[in-house]
Amino acid sequence: MRRLEGQVALITGAANGQGAAEAQLFASEGAAVVLTDIDDTRGQHLAKQIVADGRKAIYLHHDVADEVDWKLAIATAQGTFGALHVLINNAGVVPRKTLQEATLATWQRTLAVNLTGPAIGMKLAAPVIRDSGGGSIVNVSSVAGLTAHYDAAYAASKWGLRGLTKTAATEYALWNIRVNSIHPGQIEATALFNGVSPEVSQAVRACIPMHRPGKPAECAELVLFLASNASSFITGAEIAVDGGYSSGATMWMRQNLQRQLSEAAT
């Protein structure tokens, strides 16, 4: 039995990176997948590819900060596949601005996409998931929602999403809906990974105890677990997918520095 057999899943930000990996994995596990994004070319191509492989998928243009777009996406999922069981809030933006650099417009757009968007999505999707028999919501936060981060608006939005997840988990428990958050670190083939300089990428990697970036497929496997009945007693959890960065970066860097100083002294 495939792990999402007969389920209907809506995945935002599904045209690239983690979202695309989740969409492909979910479809292979039996789910009918509604892919949404603003990158229509890649989103449509991926949906066609999934269908060509004999699986169920449709693509919709969807700005997650727009309530009208959310209503259309959820109605389309329900109208096309008859239900909605899983919502993955994966879409996000990364402005790469410090608190001093960020304009008010940048701040507002970042929170609109990364925090208000998931809030709208959960509010509108939860009654449909409840009426479909229950299910799961997974919010893709970040290690920036667990630690300090140089991008002020991004960090604020991801810390907010972490708290919002816990509130929703408590609120929706009686509706048989589980809500959890994952917190990826440096993940290959994502906007956050691809948009930094080689120097920044190398510096971040040097802080990861596993000493490598993650892969979208590694995030997708965790999201699948949280979406499936394998995690039936897990709700309100926050799980880091970061190679040990959030738990041990300081200790790791201190050990490396001590070793370098010892070698330099001999």
Give per-residue burial for 96-117: e unless 16+ CB within 10 Å, then b: bbeeeebeeebbeebbbbbbbb
Q: Are 125 and 135 in contact (CB under 8 A)?
A: no
Q: Where are the beta strands (DSSP E) in the chain?
A: 8-12, 32-37, 57-61, 86-89, 135-140, 177-184, 238-241
β-sheet bridge partners, residue 155: none
Q: Does residue 154 carry a catalytic annotation? A: yes
- C-beta neighbour count of 128 within 10 angstroms: 19
Say which of 59, 150, 154, 245 is annotated catalytic. Answer: 154
82: left (phi over 0), alpha (psi -120 to 50) or beta: left
Catalytic residue positions?
154
